[in-house]
Amino acid sequence: MDAGPTGEGPGEAEEGDQSAEESQGSTTNLGTGDDSFQQDETSKQEASPTAPEECTDDSQPPSVKEEPTEAEGHSNNNNNTEEEEGACPAAAEAPPPQADAEMVQVKEEPMEVATAQVNGEQQDQAAVKTEQGAGDAPTQGEDRKRKRSRSPEQERLRAQQSYPVKVEEFPEDTFDETVVALDTYNSDLNLSIGKERFSAEPFSQLGFGLMWAGARATYGVLKGKVCYETKITKYQDVSHLPSDEPTPNVARVGFSTESTSMQLGEEPLSYGYGGTGKISVDCKFKDYGEPFGEGDVILGLVDMDSDPVRMSFAKNGKDLGVAFEVAKATLGGQALFPHVLSKNCSFEVNFGQKEAPWFPLPKAYQDYSFLGCVPLDERLRGVLGPKKKADCEMIMMCGLPGCGKTTWANEYSQKQPERKYNILGTNNIIDKMKVMGLPRKRNYSGRWDVLIDKSTKCLNKLLELASKTPRNYILDQTNVYPSAQRRKMRPFEGFRRRAVVIVPTDEEFLRRCAKREKEEGKDVPDIAVLEMKANFSLPEAGNLFDEVTFTELSREQSIPLVKQYNEEGRAACGPPQSRFRSGGGFENHRGGFGDGGRGGFRPPFRGGGFDRRRPFPRGGGPPGGGGFRGGPPRNFGPSFRGGGGGGGGM
């Protein structure tokens, strides 16, 4: 089912001054770590959040044109503000770009936004008009804006347009593939791995402080007796987290097969020893050894020659005994890889690259070898990631809420483990916020809509990183608006871009929605679904997508049903219209790339630009709606600091 955690009540509006700044040029470092940002104290230029939107020319290439934004939702709060697209007079359109401007960069200028929340769904309030009341008559300017709004058909045609772009390839990776190190491909996006790849630290600011982040080693073993060390080098600042957050600084070390997720100890064939003094496999926890924390060194050992396979640990040189015994048949011939999972703990690993271990091996394990010292032909390399954008894939889900997108994405990624799809959405973010293997919703005393907002802001960062990190992705959102499809795919220029459309029969769709509502409660307001129906447009293969796949009804079968949905939505919501000027709303209630009820990333934002040297734009950190100018490095890590409330946000 396409389901997930939802807000339990209306979110509160977040308001703040917006600031504009010039981006600083710097090279993005993918998968490696610069662990600090320099603070730039140059003065900021204030911009009014209610300033009118500048006219733009749709015929201009993407690098010189502000992309009209959109919202995916509907508000039942009369104090919320909105703005229609297409406010520029036709006479103001600029002539087509000259030939010498045909090759342009993908990077766009950010646009200024402010954010608000409706039922846990983030919405933007940039260059907006204030609603005076449900019965107030529209002003002459508002009428003019509505008349100039694009219809869904115009948006669909516009989505087919493409502009010549120069695809910037990923930086060349010259790391020695024979070295045992932390794997930048087999790791979480929210883990900053150092340049030498023997140290790492998870992102810790804002909602990232509630998330786990992990990585496996580049090599595993099928035979022999091997070991490695992990040192918890530093507890990261968690003063921004709720005072009742259980174990805000904690780590797990252990072993796992490559087929498992990064959540060490929460799946079968994933074996972890945690800082709380417990071991776990498949979310089954039991007491073992003793707690460990900052400054401690944990030695992980595995005997692959015995049957059952034995895994043991030692703390600061003290033998803690056997933790796991696993029949070789259970492993099914799969190798075990060193694996570290951390929440707000910086750590360093020793695979044998150091001249001497931090602590001598206990007497019972003198015949064990550090993994990096094992001959190359006796260890197994993990799956190598793609190097070029053409080898990477971005799959964009498309369909109404509840149609089955999340189910399809999960099943598809499990069937192709070698491609290691990263599913992007706030559901996945919240899955990484478990407490002792239990879902966060059962262990969160605060307001759920506030947590959704934190997850949304985390997703903003991860999506920015995704377009700059060589991997395969699935964007799990509704994506029914053509302008949303265009905007979300543009940063992934050069990737193989594919749309997967899920349109079941109306009877099956209603059955799935009823089942989800019964199990999880109301997820998206009916009026929001009706608005999505009114604007639903099927993507087409062409300039934007290399391929469009229909998983249930075919395109020919879907067209009349989507037309029926359009008519149903327009009858309830009025004529087609551009949505709120927003990065929030309900169209992408599962979080996403610019429209997310459960997360929204809108590259680029106007105002409050993201400086690579700083985690937040001038004007402070959370809350707010400022955004990125350019892209943060792969390794902004825990050093991003937000400042105190204000306009710049995540």
User: Residue 538's domain is classified under what CATH number?
Assistant: 3.40.50.300
Q: Give all strands (DSSP E) within 136-256, no chain letters.
A: 182-187, 191-193, 199-202, 213-217, 219-220, 225-235, 250-256
Looking at per-residue pLDDT, the higher value among 279 and 516 belongs to 279
**Same domain, residue pair 190 and 280:** yes
With respect to residue 353, please indicate whether it lies within any of the assigned structural domains: yes
Q: Contact at 8 Å (CB) between 428 and 479?
A: no
Burial of 277 per CB tally in 10 Å (0-12, 13-18, 19+): middle
With respect to residue 292, please indicate whether it lies within any of the assigned structural domains: yes
CA-based nearest residue to 426, from 402, 395, 393, 453: 453
581 half-sphere exposure, CB direction, 13 A CA radius: 30
**Same domain, residue pair 460 and 534:** yes
- Confidence (pLDDT) at 152: 56
- Residue 379 scores a pLDDT above 90: yes
Q: What sign results for the dihedral spanned by CA atoms 19, 23, 27, 28?
A: positive
Looking at per-residue pLDDT, the higher value among 308 and 99 belongs to 308
pLDDT in tens, 599-626: 333 343 333 333 433 343 434 443 333 3
Whole-number Å distance between alpha carbons of 492 and 494: 6
**Same domain, residue pair 362 and 413:** no
* pLDDT band at 523; cut points 50, 70, 90: low
Among the three residues 517, 542, 573, which one is the final residue of a domain in this structure?
573
Whole-number Å distance between alpha carbons of 287 and 486: 51
The pLDDT > 90 percentage for the chain reads 49
**Mean pLDDT, range 390-411, rounded to an integer:** 94
Whole-number Å distance between alpha carbons of 40 and 613: 8
With respect to residue 237, please indicate whether it lies within any of the assigned structural domains: yes
With respect to residue 279, please indicate whether it lies within any of the assigned structural domains: yes
Whole-number Å distance between alpha carbons of 474 and 478: 12
- Give the lowest-confidence range in 383-392, 513-522, 572-581, 634-643: 634-643
**Same domain, residue pair 296 and 399:** no
- Residue 27 scores a pLDDT above 90: no
The pLDDT > 70 percentage for the chain reads 62
- Confidence (pLDDT) at 162: 53
Tokens 């959109």 belong to: 70
With respect to residue 24, please indicate whether it lies within any of the assigned structural domains: no
The pTM of this model reads 0.66
With respect to residue 320, please indicate whether it lies within any of the assigned structural domains: yes
> By residue range, what is the domain housing residue 425?
389-573
- Residue 519 scores a pLDDT above 60: yes
**Same domain, residue pair 479 and 399:** yes
**Same domain, residue pair 559 and 502:** yes
CA distances from 226 to 222, 321, 349, 370, 631 (A): 10, 15, 14, 5, 40
Tokens 């309900």 belong to: 586
Among the three residues 364, 381, 398, which one is the final residue of a domain in this structure?
381
Whole-number Å distance between alpha carbons of 490 and 512: 32
**Same domain, residue pair 365 and 406:** no
Looking at per-residue pLDDT, the higher value among 242 and 635 belongs to 242
Among the three residues 549, 573, 597, which one is the final residue of a domain in this structure?
573
* pLDDT band at 148; cut points 50, 70, 90: low
* Both structure tokens of 125: 């309030």
Q: Contact at 8 Å (CB) between 221 and 302?
A: yes
- Confidence (pLDDT) at 66: 37
Bridge partners, 219 (sequence order) = 381
* Both structure tokens of 350: 């020793």
Looking at per-residue pLDDT, the higher value among 76 and 457 belongs to 457
One-letter identity of residue 490: R
- Confidence (pLDDT) at 13: 32
* Strand 219-220 with 225-235, pairing: unpaired
**Same domain, residue pair 197 and 326:** yes
- Residue 246 scores a pLDDT above 80: yes
**Same domain, residue pair 424 and 407:** yes
**DSSP calls for 457-519:** HHHHHHHHHHTTS-SEEEE-S---SHHHHHHHHGGGTTSEEEEEE----HHHHHHHHHHHHHH
Number of Cβ within 10 Å of residue 27's Cβ equals 8
- E strand or H helix at 629, and its extent? none
**Mean pLDDT, range 571-590, rounded to an integer:** 55
* pLDDT band at 155; cut points 50, 70, 90: low
With respect to residue 69, please indicate whether it lies within any of the assigned structural domains: no
- Confidence (pLDDT) at 597: 39
- Would you call 92 helix, strand, or coil by DSSP? helix
* Both structure tokens of 149: 């709004």
**Same domain, residue pair 458 and 557:** yes
Residues 6+ apart with CB under 8 A from 27: 171
**Same domain, residue pair 456 and 307:** no
CA-based nearest residue to 210, from 166, 174, 245, 261: 245
Q: Contact at 8 Å (CB) between 219 and 336?
A: no
With respect to residue 370, please indicate whether it lies within any of the assigned structural domains: yes
**Where do runs of H (alpha helix) occur along 55-139?**
none
- Give the lowest-confidence range in 131-145, 232-246, 301-315: 131-145
The count of structural domains within the chain is 2
Bridge partners, 396 (sequence order) = 475, 499
pLDDT in tens, 170-214: 888 889 999 999 999 999 999 999 999 999 999 999 899 999 999
**Same domain, residue pair 435 and 539:** yes
Bridge partners, 122 (sequence order) = 117
Burial of 70 per CB tally in 10 Å (0-12, 13-18, 19+): buried
**Mean pLDDT, range 518-535, rounded to an integer:** 85
User: Residue 339's domain is classified under what CATH number?
Assistant: 2.60.120.920
- Residue 399 scores a pLDDT above 60: yes
Tokens 């776990």 belong to: 280
245 half-sphere exposure, CB direction, 13 A CA radius: 19
Ramachandran sector of residue 153 (left: φ over 0; alpha: ψ -120 to 50; beta: rest): alpha
